[in-house]
Amino acid sequence: MGAQLRVYRRRMRSVKATKKITKAMELISASRIVKAQQRVAASTPYANELTRAVSAVATYSSTNHPLTTPPENPKRAAILIISADRGMAGAYSNNAVKEGEQLASLLRERGLEVSSYLVGRKAVNYYKFRNRPVAGAWTGFSDSPTYEKAKEVADALITAFLADAHADVDGIDEIHIVYTEFKSMLTQNAMAKRMLPLEVVESAMPIPTGLLPMYEFEPNAATVLDALLPRYIEARIFNAMLQSAASEHAARRRAMKSATDNADDLIKSLTRLANAARQAEITQEISEIVGGADALASASAGSE
Protein backbone atom coordinates (compact mmCIF):
# COMPACT_ATOMS: atom_id res chain seq x y z
CA MET A 1 0.00 0.00 0.00
CA GLY A 2 2.91 2.36 0.72
CA ALA A 3 4.22 1.86 -2.80
CA GLN A 4 0.84 2.86 -4.26
CA LEU A 5 0.85 6.05 -2.17
CA ARG A 6 4.33 6.94 -3.48
CA VAL A 7 3.10 6.49 -7.05
CA TYR A 8 0.20 8.87 -6.49
CA ARG A 9 2.44 11.48 -4.89
CA ARG A 10 4.96 11.22 -7.70
CA ARG A 11 2.23 11.73 -10.29
CA MET A 12 0.89 14.71 -8.33
CA ARG A 13 4.33 16.34 -8.36
CA SER A 14 4.57 15.79 -12.11
CA VAL A 15 1.12 17.24 -12.77
CA LYS A 16 1.82 20.25 -10.56
CA ALA A 17 5.04 20.96 -12.48
CA THR A 18 3.12 20.74 -15.77
CA LYS A 19 0.43 23.04 -14.37
CA LYS A 20 3.04 25.71 -13.59
CA ILE A 21 4.21 25.62 -17.21
CA THR A 22 0.72 25.81 -18.72
CA LYS A 23 -0.31 28.58 -16.32
CA ALA A 24 2.79 30.60 -17.22
CA MET A 25 2.14 30.16 -20.94
CA GLU A 26 -1.49 31.17 -20.45
CA LEU A 27 -0.45 34.39 -18.71
CA ILE A 28 2.16 35.17 -21.38
CA SER A 29 -0.36 34.72 -24.18
CA ALA A 30 -2.94 36.79 -22.29
CA SER A 31 -0.44 39.65 -21.96
CA ARG A 32 0.66 39.51 -25.61
CA ILE A 33 -2.78 39.28 -27.14
CA VAL A 34 -3.65 42.84 -26.08
CA LYS A 35 -0.80 44.27 -28.12
CA ALA A 36 -1.63 41.93 -31.01
CA GLN A 37 -5.24 43.16 -31.02
CA GLN A 38 -4.06 46.76 -31.05
CA ARG A 39 -1.80 46.10 -34.04
CA VAL A 40 -4.67 44.43 -35.91
CA ALA A 41 -6.98 47.37 -35.17
CA ALA A 42 -4.31 49.82 -36.35
CA SER A 43 -3.49 48.05 -39.62
CA THR A 44 -6.96 46.97 -40.78
CA PRO A 45 -8.29 50.44 -41.76
CA TYR A 46 -5.17 51.15 -43.82
CA ALA A 47 -5.40 47.81 -45.61
CA ASN A 48 -9.12 48.31 -46.29
CA GLU A 49 -8.69 51.82 -47.65
CA LEU A 50 -5.79 50.74 -49.82
CA THR A 51 -7.96 47.92 -51.17
CA ARG A 52 -10.69 50.43 -52.05
CA ALA A 53 -8.18 52.71 -53.75
CA VAL A 54 -6.83 49.88 -55.90
CA SER A 55 -10.38 48.74 -56.65
CA ALA A 56 -11.33 52.24 -57.76
CA VAL A 57 -8.38 52.45 -60.14
CA ALA A 58 -9.11 48.99 -61.53
CA THR A 59 -12.85 49.67 -61.87
CA TYR A 60 -12.89 53.16 -63.34
CA SER A 61 -10.02 52.79 -65.80
CA SER A 62 -9.88 50.90 -69.07
CA THR A 63 -6.31 49.69 -68.55
CA ASN A 64 -5.75 45.94 -68.86
CA HIS A 65 -3.16 45.64 -66.14
CA PRO A 66 -1.67 42.16 -65.54
CA LEU A 67 -2.29 42.46 -61.80
CA THR A 68 -6.00 43.19 -62.21
CA THR A 69 -6.97 41.32 -65.38
CA PRO A 70 -7.49 37.55 -65.04
CA PRO A 71 -5.60 35.54 -67.68
CA GLU A 72 -7.64 33.69 -70.27
CA ASN A 73 -6.02 30.32 -69.57
CA PRO A 74 -4.53 30.27 -66.07
CA LYS A 75 -2.07 27.46 -65.48
CA ARG A 76 -0.43 28.05 -62.12
CA ALA A 77 -1.56 29.35 -58.74
CA ALA A 78 0.31 30.19 -55.56
CA ILE A 79 -1.03 29.61 -52.06
CA LEU A 80 0.45 31.46 -49.09
CA ILE A 81 -0.34 29.59 -45.85
CA ILE A 82 0.25 31.40 -42.55
CA SER A 83 0.70 29.11 -39.52
CA ALA A 84 2.52 29.22 -36.17
CA ASP A 85 6.17 28.66 -35.31
CA ARG A 86 5.35 27.04 -31.96
CA GLY A 87 2.79 24.52 -30.82
CA MET A 88 0.51 24.33 -27.79
CA ALA A 89 -2.09 26.47 -29.57
CA GLY A 90 -4.80 23.87 -30.04
CA ALA A 91 -5.92 23.31 -33.62
CA TYR A 92 -4.81 26.76 -34.81
CA SER A 93 -2.09 25.64 -37.24
CA ASN A 94 -3.94 22.47 -38.26
CA ASN A 95 -6.99 24.49 -39.29
CA ALA A 96 -4.90 26.81 -41.47
CA VAL A 97 -3.07 23.91 -43.13
CA LYS A 98 -6.35 22.03 -43.67
CA GLU A 99 -7.90 25.12 -45.28
CA GLY A 100 -4.86 25.35 -47.54
CA GLU A 101 -5.23 21.69 -48.51
CA GLN A 102 -8.88 22.20 -49.42
CA LEU A 103 -8.04 25.27 -51.49
CA ALA A 104 -5.26 23.39 -53.29
CA SER A 105 -7.70 20.60 -54.13
CA LEU A 106 -10.16 23.09 -55.62
CA LEU A 107 -7.43 24.73 -57.68
CA ARG A 108 -6.22 21.36 -58.99
CA GLU A 109 -9.78 20.50 -59.99
CA ARG A 110 -9.64 23.61 -62.19
CA GLY A 111 -6.51 22.20 -63.82
CA LEU A 112 -4.03 24.55 -62.11
CA GLU A 113 -0.59 23.68 -60.84
CA VAL A 114 -0.21 24.76 -57.20
CA SER A 115 2.91 26.32 -55.68
CA SER A 116 3.01 26.49 -51.89
CA TYR A 117 4.48 29.41 -49.95
CA LEU A 118 4.60 28.82 -46.21
CA VAL A 119 4.93 31.03 -43.13
CA GLY A 120 5.53 29.29 -39.79
CA ARG A 121 7.38 26.12 -38.79
CA LYS A 122 4.18 24.11 -38.34
CA ALA A 123 3.23 24.40 -42.00
CA VAL A 124 6.84 23.91 -43.10
CA ASN A 125 7.18 20.74 -41.02
CA TYR A 126 3.83 19.47 -42.33
CA TYR A 127 5.02 19.76 -45.94
CA LYS A 128 8.55 18.54 -45.19
CA PHE A 129 7.27 15.41 -43.42
CA ARG A 130 5.19 14.55 -46.49
CA ASN A 131 8.02 15.38 -48.94
CA ARG A 132 5.96 18.01 -50.72
CA PRO A 133 7.63 20.75 -52.78
CA VAL A 134 7.72 24.23 -51.26
CA ALA A 135 8.29 27.32 -53.39
CA GLY A 136 9.14 29.57 -50.42
CA ALA A 137 9.23 29.36 -46.62
CA TRP A 138 9.65 31.89 -43.83
CA THR A 139 9.87 31.11 -40.10
CA GLY A 140 10.72 32.72 -36.79
CA PHE A 141 8.24 35.62 -36.59
CA SER A 142 4.71 34.17 -36.56
CA ASP A 143 3.81 35.50 -33.08
CA SER A 144 5.21 39.01 -33.74
CA PRO A 145 5.32 39.79 -37.48
CA THR A 146 6.90 42.94 -38.87
CA TYR A 147 6.20 44.90 -42.02
CA GLU A 148 9.70 44.09 -43.29
CA LYS A 149 8.90 40.36 -43.19
CA ALA A 150 5.55 40.93 -44.87
CA LYS A 151 7.30 42.91 -47.62
CA GLU A 152 9.81 40.09 -48.07
CA VAL A 153 6.99 37.58 -48.56
CA ALA A 154 5.08 39.96 -50.84
CA ASP A 155 8.14 40.62 -53.01
CA ALA A 156 8.64 36.89 -53.55
CA LEU A 157 5.00 36.42 -54.56
CA ILE A 158 4.89 39.45 -56.87
CA THR A 159 8.16 38.41 -58.52
CA ALA A 160 6.72 34.97 -59.20
CA PHE A 161 3.46 36.52 -60.43
CA LEU A 162 5.23 38.79 -62.91
CA ALA A 163 7.71 36.13 -64.11
CA ASP A 164 7.43 35.13 -67.73
CA ALA A 165 5.89 31.69 -68.11
CA HIS A 166 8.52 30.85 -70.77
CA ALA A 167 11.50 31.96 -68.68
CA ASP A 168 13.63 29.81 -66.41
CA VAL A 169 11.30 30.60 -63.50
CA ASP A 170 7.68 29.67 -64.13
CA GLY A 171 5.25 32.48 -63.51
CA ILE A 172 2.03 32.12 -61.56
CA ASP A 173 -1.38 33.36 -62.64
CA GLU A 174 -3.18 33.61 -59.28
CA ILE A 175 -2.15 34.35 -55.69
CA HIS A 176 -4.26 33.06 -52.80
CA ILE A 177 -3.68 33.55 -49.09
CA VAL A 178 -4.78 31.31 -46.22
CA TYR A 179 -4.76 32.85 -42.75
CA THR A 180 -6.74 32.86 -39.51
CA GLU A 181 -9.09 35.80 -39.09
CA PHE A 182 -9.29 37.14 -35.54
CA LYS A 183 -12.86 37.96 -34.57
CA SER A 184 -12.79 37.68 -30.78
CA MET A 185 -10.98 35.94 -27.95
CA LEU A 186 -13.20 32.92 -28.49
CA THR A 187 -13.64 32.96 -32.28
CA GLN A 188 -10.88 32.65 -34.88
CA ASN A 189 -11.67 31.33 -38.35
CA ALA A 190 -9.25 29.97 -40.92
CA MET A 191 -10.12 31.39 -44.34
CA ALA A 192 -8.81 31.58 -47.89
CA LYS A 193 -8.90 34.66 -50.12
CA ARG A 194 -7.65 35.49 -53.58
CA MET A 195 -5.37 38.50 -53.74
CA LEU A 196 -4.30 38.52 -57.40
CA PRO A 197 -5.80 39.04 -59.88
CA LEU A 198 -7.50 41.68 -57.82
CA GLU A 199 -10.61 40.49 -56.00
CA VAL A 200 -12.55 42.97 -53.92
CA VAL A 201 -12.66 41.31 -50.51
CA GLU A 202 -14.16 44.12 -48.48
CA SER A 203 -16.54 46.89 -49.46
CA ALA A 204 -18.34 48.98 -46.89
CA MET A 205 -19.34 51.59 -49.50
CA PRO A 206 -22.75 51.34 -51.22
CA ILE A 207 -22.83 50.44 -54.90
CA PRO A 208 -23.24 53.67 -56.90
CA THR A 209 -26.28 54.08 -59.09
CA GLY A 210 -26.74 56.23 -62.17
CA LEU A 211 -23.69 57.86 -63.75
CA LEU A 212 -20.37 56.56 -62.50
CA PRO A 213 -17.70 59.04 -61.38
CA MET A 214 -14.93 59.97 -63.81
CA TYR A 215 -11.36 59.66 -62.60
CA GLU A 216 -8.24 61.20 -64.05
CA PHE A 217 -5.00 59.31 -63.49
CA GLU A 218 -1.62 61.03 -63.60
CA PRO A 219 0.51 60.16 -65.41
CA ASN A 220 -1.75 57.20 -66.39
CA ALA A 221 -3.75 54.38 -64.82
CA ALA A 222 -1.10 51.74 -65.53
CA THR A 223 1.55 53.72 -63.64
CA VAL A 224 -0.83 54.25 -60.71
CA LEU A 225 -1.54 50.52 -60.58
CA ASP A 226 2.19 49.73 -60.77
CA ALA A 227 2.69 51.87 -57.66
CA LEU A 228 -0.43 50.83 -55.73
CA LEU A 229 -0.66 47.09 -56.23
CA PRO A 230 2.65 46.04 -54.63
CA ARG A 231 1.72 48.10 -51.58
CA TYR A 232 -1.74 46.57 -51.64
CA ILE A 233 -0.24 43.06 -51.53
CA GLU A 234 2.19 44.06 -48.75
CA ALA A 235 -0.60 45.62 -46.69
CA ARG A 236 -2.94 42.63 -47.10
CA ILE A 237 -0.22 40.13 -46.22
CA PHE A 238 0.88 42.19 -43.21
CA ASN A 239 -2.70 42.48 -41.97
CA ALA A 240 -3.20 38.73 -42.46
CA MET A 241 -0.02 38.05 -40.47
CA LEU A 242 -1.18 40.32 -37.66
CA GLN A 243 -4.61 38.69 -37.54
CA SER A 244 -2.97 35.25 -37.52
CA ALA A 245 -0.65 36.33 -34.69
CA ALA A 246 -3.58 37.56 -32.59
CA SER A 247 -5.44 34.33 -33.35
CA GLU A 248 -2.38 32.29 -32.37
CA HIS A 249 -2.13 34.02 -28.99
CA ALA A 250 -5.86 33.63 -28.37
CA ALA A 251 -5.78 29.94 -29.33
CA ARG A 252 -2.72 29.30 -27.16
CA ARG A 253 -4.27 31.10 -24.20
CA ARG A 254 -7.46 29.05 -24.55
CA ALA A 255 -5.53 25.79 -24.93
CA MET A 256 -3.29 26.52 -21.94
CA LYS A 257 -6.27 27.51 -19.78
CA SER A 258 -7.94 24.21 -20.68
CA ALA A 259 -4.72 22.35 -19.85
CA THR A 260 -4.43 24.17 -16.51
CA ASP A 261 -8.05 23.35 -15.62
CA ASN A 262 -7.48 19.69 -16.56
CA ALA A 263 -4.36 19.66 -14.37
CA ASP A 264 -6.41 21.00 -11.44
CA ASP A 265 -9.01 18.28 -11.94
CA LEU A 266 -6.31 15.61 -12.18
CA ILE A 267 -4.61 16.88 -9.01
CA LYS A 268 -7.92 16.74 -7.13
CA SER A 269 -8.52 13.20 -8.37
CA LEU A 270 -5.01 12.08 -7.43
CA THR A 271 -5.34 13.75 -4.03
CA ARG A 272 -8.51 11.76 -3.30
CA LEU A 273 -6.82 8.53 -4.40
CA ALA A 274 -3.73 9.31 -2.30
CA ASN A 275 -5.89 10.08 0.75
CA ALA A 276 -7.79 6.84 0.25
CA ALA A 277 -4.52 4.92 -0.07
CA ARG A 278 -3.11 6.58 3.06
CA GLN A 279 -6.31 5.87 4.99
CA ALA A 280 -6.20 2.24 3.89
CA GLU A 281 -2.55 2.03 4.97
CA ILE A 282 -3.38 3.50 8.40
CA THR A 283 -6.33 1.14 8.79
CA GLN A 284 -4.13 -1.82 7.90
CA GLU A 285 -1.47 -0.75 10.43
CA ILE A 286 -4.10 -0.35 13.16
CA SER A 287 -5.51 -3.78 12.32
CA GLU A 288 -2.03 -5.30 12.54
CA ILE A 289 -1.38 -3.61 15.91
CA VAL A 290 -4.72 -4.74 17.31
CA GLY A 291 -4.15 -8.24 15.99
CA GLY A 292 -0.68 -8.33 17.58
CA ALA A 293 -2.04 -7.10 20.91
CA ASP A 294 -4.76 -9.74 20.89
CA ALA A 295 -2.20 -12.43 20.14
CA LEU A 296 -0.01 -11.31 23.05
CA ALA A 297 -3.01 -11.17 25.38
CA SER A 298 -4.05 -14.68 24.34
CA ALA A 299 -0.50 -15.98 24.84
CA SER A 300 -0.32 -14.43 28.35
CA ALA A 301 -3.67 -15.91 29.35
CA GLY A 302 -2.62 -19.35 28.17
CA SER A 303 0.63 -19.29 30.19
CA GLU A 304 -1.24 -18.50 33.39
Q: Indicate whether 23 belongs to any domain.
A: no
pLDDT at 93: 92
Residue 104 included in any domain: yes
Question: Residue 3: inside a domain, yes or no?
Answer: no
**CA end-to-end distance (rounded Å), the chain:** 38
Closest CA to 242 of 175, 136, 154, 146: 146
In contact, 81 and 241? CB cutoff 8 Å: no
CATH number for the domain spanning 222: value is: 3.40.1380.10
Domain hosting 60: range is 42-205+215-257
Is 33 domain-assigned? no
Tell whether 244 is covered by a domain.
yes
Per-residue pLDDT of the chain in tens (304 residues, 90 and over written 9):
567 888 888 999 999 999 999 999 999 988 888 889 889 988 888 888 887 777 777 666 666 766 677 777 888 899 999 999 998 888 999 999 999 999 999 999 988 999 999 999 999 999 999 999 999 999 999 888 999 999 999 999 988 887 754 454 557 888 999 999 998 888 899 999 988 887 544 444 444 444 445 666 677 777 777 788 888 889 999 999 999 999 999 999 999 999 999 999 999 999 998 888 888 888 877 887 887 777 777 777 666 6
Q: Please state the pTM of the whole predicted model.
A: 0.81
Q: Is residue 105 part of a domain?
A: yes
* pLDDT for the residue 165: 44
263 Cβ neighbours under 8 A, 6+ residues apart: 15, 16, 18, 19, 22
| Domain-embedded: residue 262 | no
User: Is there a domain that residue 303 lies in?
Assistant: no
* Cα–Cα dist 236/238, whole Å: 5
Domain count, the chain: 1
